[in-house]
Amino acid sequence: MSMQRSRRNFALSTFALIATAGLVVGCTGRGDDDGGEADPSESIVIGASWPLSGPLADVAPGLSGIEAYFDRVNADGGVDGRTIELSVADDAYDPARLVENQRQFAEDGAVAVINFGGIAIAGRDYLAEAGIAGFTLAANSPFGEVDEYPLHRAWWPDLAWEGRAQAAWLAEEQPEATVGVMGLNNDLTHSLVDGLEAGGIEPRLVAEIPPGTGDVSAQITEFEAAGVDALVLAVGSPTISSALTYIDQIGWDPTISVTSTMSDFHTTVGPTGEEIVDGAYAFQFGKDPADPRYADDPALVEFFEAMDESGHSDDTDIALALNSYGMAAALVAAIETADEVTSEGIVAAWDDFSGEENPFLRDGLTLTNGPGGRVILEYQRTRFDGESWADEGDPVSVSDLGVE
């Protein structure tokens, strides 16, 4: 059973959102209207099914970034005078609840639906049947299946591409490396391993960990015993902090590489400690609002202001909020340039991105349409220097990695 609230109450804090079992923001009550089309005289309705409770409730700040960007757009007059209304529902990271939420969004008249992660794979069939565009934050490879699901796009680049980047770097810097991978027990890890293998790296050991696992000492011990001397970590909080802390405690010294979306201060550096993360590598494509190198970045100054104005000041230092703020900015850019504000029109405009600037991306990187409908196509290798993630070398393009 879901609860509903009006658009005027949009600025509830993330913590209030988590405490709410289900909610809908800005419902239009248009009932059986075609979910793929928007009436020019009405608001633009976008649905968001997001984990606000359950095993991944800690990703709730991602919703804060979406709300903050849409709030700012509306405060500036909307898109061609039309406000954006966000219909929100908690899916508790449950595929069945996500699909049910999407049915509600269709009834609300949504032209697009935003989802957080891999469970959105289960929701693609319904959105395709309803003719509604879907935009997912996740890096899972299946979200690149645009021939099968022409109205679904992903924000983050395919994690398999990052695996290729890791492989190319290891082949050059540590060609005799014995590689281990610790990832989540879902197809994100499969995507990463596929990329490593495509780049010529066959991991000796892969450990798949349930989200939220706090003790991984047994797995770390197994990696060390297997002779692993290069470890790729693709797990979130609290697992990554537990892994790095235990590695430090036992005096093991492998090359550590943290995947891009797990390398931020909120997830890794803060909980673990700068001195323990020191020397770790990461291939990054976005900024981190908690990294001191971005303290005076103009795009982040605007982000901080938008978060404060929308009532989400507690989430301003969380990278996931900036990630989703950037996705919302990209979606608005597509709506603004679409020939018509329909699901098909928005996706077509997304696919036309070429050199599109975005507040989330690292300096010098832009959005450009690429394989699988992805629009982030470059990485920057970085190394943590004890205070910040410092750049090493030039940005790496996925085309240079053999991705077509």
Element (H, E) at 47: strand 44-50
d(CA 189, CA 67): 29
**How confident is the model at residue 331, as a pLDDT?**
99
CATH topology identical between 7-157+296-373 and 159-284+378-401: yes
Residue 330 scores a pLDDT above 60 = yes
Q: Each residue of 228-242: pLDDT tens digit?
A: 999 999 999 999 999
Cβ neighbours around 216 below 10 Å, total: 24
Domain range annotation of the chain: 7-157+296-373, 159-284+378-401
Cβ burial of 381 (10 Å; 0-12, 13-18, 19+) is: buried
pLDDT at 44 > cutoff 70: yes
Distance of alpha carbon 318 from alpha carbon 261, whole angstroms: 12
Q: Give the pLDDT confidence score for residue 41 in this predicted structure.
A: 62
User: Helix, strand, coil proportions of the chain in percent (round to 5)?
Assistant: 45, 20, 40
> What does the block give as tokens for 233?
């970590």
Contacts of 188 (CB under 8 A, 6+ apart): 118, 138, 139, 140, 159, 234
Q: Which strand (E) or helix (H) includes residue 193?
A: helix 187-198
Q: Which contacts of 330-337 are long-range, i.e. CB under 8 A and separated by 24 or more positions? A: 330/155, 330/356, 330/358, 330/367, 330/375, 331/46, 331/112, 331/114, 331/135, 332/69, 332/70, 332/73, 332/79, 332/84, 333/358, 333/367, 335/44, 335/79, 336/79, 336/80
DSSP code of residue 51: -
| CATH architecture for segment(s) 7-157+296-373 | 3-Layer(aba) Sandwich (3.40)
Model pTM? 0.88
* Residue 241 host element (H or E): helix 239-249
Query: Structure tokens of 241?
Result: 């902090």
pLDDT of residue 30: 30
* pLDDT digit string, tens, across residues 64-119: 999 999 999 999 999 999 999 999 999 999 999 999 999 999 999 999 999 998 89
- Which positions ≥6 away from 176 have C-beta within 8 Å? none
Among the listed residues 192, 72, 158, the one whose alpha carbon sits nearest the alpha carbon of residue 376: 158
Architecture of domain 159-284+378-401: 3-Layer(aba) Sandwich (3.40)
Amino acid type, 189:
T
Pairing between β-strand 84-90 and β-strand 44-50 as defined by DSSP bridges: parallel
